[in-house]
Structure formats: structure tokens, C-alpha cells
Structure 1
Amino acid sequence: MKFFIVLLSVITSVLAIEPIVTAQWLNEHKNDANLRIVEVSDGDLYSLEHIPNAAHTTIDKWRFDNGTFLSIRPVAEIEKEISVLGIGEKMDVVLYAPINDPKDLLKTSYIYWALNYHGIKNVALLDGGIKAWKNANLELTQVEPSIEQTAFKAKIDSAKIADITYVKTHLGKLPMIDARPSDMYLGITPTPTVKRNGHIKGGMSYSWNYSVDKGYYLKSKAMLESIFKEGYRLDKNKEVLVYCTGGLETSFNYFVLSGVLGYKNVRLYDASMKEWGNREDTPMTQYRYEMFKK
């Protein structure tokens, strides 16, 4: 019997956490030794109330202004933040936000991608954010947990990111998905901070918010599977590149494709249109939808 319990514990420890978890599941597991809960919020929201045992981070600890656009911080800085949060390579991580604005959710999906990119694979988002927790009448606290820092060293997965050279050399060779609203994709409505209107030549339109309902709960996996398989004709075993205005919106498409649906090779163009659309040497299309043709 004792052997069976130990074996079960070992098996459980190697199973990856589901990419989206419910408030009920998180409440049942919030004290697990191998689980780190992280709130992503600004201001004093965390100090006012947070989920028990949750650590705290802000998006500016993961992104910085490089003088041209916002991008992921240098590896050493990300390693430091991951260590401060007490996250180890094989730990499970659940990210959540007080979703008072769509960008609040996008900040969690961006950090989801950043963790994957730096070698943390078992990451999840709390479905519905802290509002789901409140709706379930679960405990909130002002007590900050005592967190033992780790000495995390990144294992960079270069297949998770694209730069402008990579995008240019792969135009027409792999599917690219634009996460901005369709009017910005078409170039009918200008994208703030982007000089040229339209989208990357050959890019397809799928606004990130199509994947969630009004309460920011993820739509059904079956429907999302159908959208990308039947509608966009994507192959889970082949590469897909995702982009948006500047990294945030597309991180949710990354989360859906790579995490929820299990696409094997999803690459995020972090600089996105803030780089591509502000140059004159980058091919763009305006006023029409495009589909990738194999």
C-alpha cells in the first residue's frame, strides 16, 4: 500500500498541469508544495486582496522599452524575477489577474509565453481571473506568503520567438495569425503607434478576444479546435507564427494554440506591428482578408 502511494505521487508529479484551471481546482490545490500561484497586477490591488499563497508580479518586470518598442527583458532579468517568485524549472505555475481591463488578461498570457520561452513548461491561467474566484465565494487574504527564492537558470527555447529577419524569410512559407481587431488588420482603422496601416503580407486575422466570452472565460475547447482545424486549416504538427501590435494580444493566441490546443510549434513575433508597420522595407497588405495556402 505504501509503495502504491509513493508510485501514485511520482506519477502525479510528472503530469503537466492543465493550461486552464478553474477556481475550484485552484482552491483544492492552493497548498500544494509544487504549485506556485502568481498574481499579475499593478498598483495596490495585490495588497488589498489576493488568493492565498499567491506571489505577485507586474508586467513591467517582464517587458521593457528598448527605445523603439516594448520587448521581453534580457534573460538575466527574467531569471531574477522567476527566482524571486520562487519558481523552479519543474514546478507548476498558475497565473491570474484581477481582470478590470482586457489587457489585464493579456499580461498573464504574455508571462505564460515568457515562462515557456525561458524553460518553464507547466504553466496555467486561472479561467475567469480573480472574479471567478470571487464568484465561487472563495477565501481572499492580505497576507503575503513567505516564499523561498530559487536559483533559476533559463533554458531558452528559441522556437518560441521570432525576430523580423525570421518573419521576412518565412513569408508565404508558414501560416501567420494577426491577433488585432479585424478593422486594424484590414487597415480600415489605424493601429495606434503604427505608421503603416494593414497587416503582414499573407497574415490571417483572428482577434484574440474571439477565444473568450464577456466574462473572460475561455470558450469551449471543442469550438476552438474546430476554428483552427476546419476554419484556418492549421496542422498541429507544423509551425505557425503569431503576432499583433506589440506582443500582448498575440500572447493569448499563443496560449490557446500552444497550451490549450497542443500545437507543437507556435512562434511569437514579440515586436510585431510596432516594428513591422513602422518600417518601409516590410511587405504589407491592406483592405482584404488573406488565408494561408499550403
Structure 2
Amino acid sequence: MKKLVVLLLISISAFAMEPIVSAEWLKKNLADKNLRVVHVSEPDDYLLEHIPNAQNSSIGKWRVAQENYLLVRSSQEIQDEIRKLGIDKESKVVLYAPISSPMDLLKSTYIFWALNYHGIKDVAILNGGMSSWRESGYELSDQVNSVEKSDYIVKIDSRLVADKAYVMQKLNKLPMIDARPADKYLGITPTDTVERDGHISGAMSYSWNYSIDNNYMLKDIKKLEALFRDGYKLDKESEVLVYCTGGLETSFNYFVLSGVLGYKHVRLYDASMKEWGNSKETPMVKYTYEVFAR
């Protein structure tokens, strides 16, 4: 009996999914009936080549223009896309992109957040994107595989999103992290789509790309853990708000904090600086780094 229990535990752990998975893990689990692999790109790129059994979804299926910025689509539209991909509450979802620029990776992490926001929690990113799969010597396919639509009903987790009113209410009351490059945060370099330079008053700077290496692989998790705990003094039980220019860059910080490191209350300001920095009444600071003090 003891031996049977041990074997069962080993079997369960073999199929447990971390929020960042390797190409080797994905290859071993590709036949799992509950696994849904999503290739994040425009359809033409997907049709050229993709990981076997992967479905295609583009960022445009998840975001829509609203005024001067982009926001996550309506819950009905997101539900339609989730169902089309065959995702339900039992699914494990692995997202990846053929990464030719940083933006490709960020589209994957935005969908990671959008799935979490709509109630799908068992989601992972393929470390290094499609290149890591190819470099591991695994085959790619140009075959389009059909998947049975699910009947999933979205469950909005309102704790994962912030609007301008919420940010205004929480100024200097909780830590906020700006995911843009430091020169944008400081207001030294302007952003074409943002009228005012600088950052949200009280926010700290942590450019999202500090967490990856030149091959888009996640850096050492223990070092990231120590950085946010000891350097930024973040508490895993307390709320932290993340933002950037328009929602994409900050989705990577959301992924690292909420997904990889297990911070329990990470809230993403979707409209970010494209809303805040184009509004005249919002408090902003420039030319200085700020530190949040509880």
C-alpha cells in the first residue's frame, strides 16, 4: 500500500504545472487530454509552423481600442475565445509565441493575465517561447488541429484589475510598480502616445525586461524572489499594483509576481499611462526614483 501511495504521488507531481514550463516538460505532457497549448501570433505565423496540437490566438482577440488606449475585451468576447480554444475549468493552459521581438513575449503574458482575470488559473508560459522548443530538437507542425469547443462560463476576478479611480484612491497607500524602462519612468524620454512625462506619484521603477535574459528565458527565480522581497520590500500577503504604458509590459511583471513568485494580490492597471499620463488631473512625478514606505 505504501508503495502504491508513493507511486501515486509521483504520478500527480509529474503532471503538476508550474507557471513557467520548459520545452522538455511540454513535450512530456503534450498528450495530456486536459492540456491546451496556445500559439500567440497572427494566423499567418501560426500556419507557417507551430508546436503540434497548439491552437492559435492573436492579441487582438483579447484587447480592443477604447479612447486613447487599449483595454481587455468584454467578458462575452473573452468567453467566446476561451471556448473556441477548448479551454474549461479543468484545463491546463500553456501559452507561447514565436518571439522575434519583446512585444511577442508580452502578448503571451497579457493573455496569461486575461485568463486569470476571467477565472482560468492553471496557466503557464513556455520559457523562451517557440525557440526553446526548436532548440530542444522537437518537431514543429503546419497542421491545424481541431479542438472541441468548451462550454466555459467566465468568472471575473475583479481583484486583478484597476481603473483610474482605483489608482487615484490608492496613491501612496500601496506599492505601485512601473514596468517601463527607467528613462520613461523618470520622464527623461517622452512617450509618443503619452502627453505628460514621468510616472504615477509614489510608484517605484522595475522595467519588466530585468526579469529575462537575452534569450527571453526567465532569470533565476531565487534571485527574483530576493529582489522583490529585500529590495522592493513587497509582502506576498499585501496588495501591489502594476502598470506601464498601455498594459502589455506590466503584464510581465504581473506574471512574475503573481504567477512565478506567488504574490496573492497583484492588480493590473490596464489602461496605464495612456490614460493616466493623458489626463490633466492625475498626480505625476518625474526626474526621481521613489520608494514606497508603509
Correspondence list, 1:117-136, <5 A = 117-136=117-136
SS in 1 for 2:88: coil
- The amino acid of 2:94's aligned partner reads V
Distance 1:71 1:112 in 2: 15
User: Identity across aligned pairs (percent)?
Assistant: 60
- The Cα shift of 1:49 comes to 0.7
- The Cα shift of 1:31 comes to 1.1
1:277 has 2:277 as partner:
yes
Residue number in structure 2 paired with 1:202 = 202
Contact persistence 2:43–2:58 (CA under 8 A): no
Correspondence list, 1:153-192, <5 A = 153-192=153-192
Contact persistence 1:241–1:269 (CA under 8 A): yes
Correspondence list, 1:25-104, <5 A = 25-104=25-104
Superposed CA deviations along residues 38-89 of structure 1, whole A, max 9, x for unmatched, are 0001251110110000000000000000132100000000000000000001
- The Cα shift of 1:192 comes to 2.2
- The Cα shift of 1:144 comes to 1.1
Contact persistence 2:36–2:93 (CA under 8 A): yes
TM-score (norm 1): 0.96
Distance 1:16 1:123 in 2: 11
Correspondence list, 1:245-284, <5 A = 245-284=245-284
SS in 1 for 2:249: helix
- The amino acid of 2:165's aligned partner reads T
Distance 1:54 1:136 in 2: 17
Distance 2:56 2:120 in 1: 17
- The Cα shift of 1:11 comes to 8.1
SS in 2 for 1:278: coil
- The amino acid of 2:64's aligned partner reads F
Contact persistence 1:16–1:122 (CA under 8 A): no
Structure 2 residue runs of 5 or longer lacking an equivalent are: none
Superposed CA deviations along residues 97-129 of structure 1, whole A, max 9, x for unmatched, are 000010000000000000000000000000000
- The Cα shift of 1:145 comes to 1.2
Contact persistence 2:15–2:29 (CA under 8 A): no
Distance 1:270 1:9 in 2: 40
Residue number in structure 2 paired with 1:222 = 222
Structure 1 residue runs of 5 or longer lacking an equivalent are: none
Say if 1:55 and 1:22 are closer, same or farther in 2 by CA, change over 3 A.
same
- The Cα shift of 1:10 comes to 12
Aligned residues: 292
Distance 2:162 2:14 in 1: 30
- The Cα shift of 1:15 comes to 7.5
TM-score (norm 2): 0.96
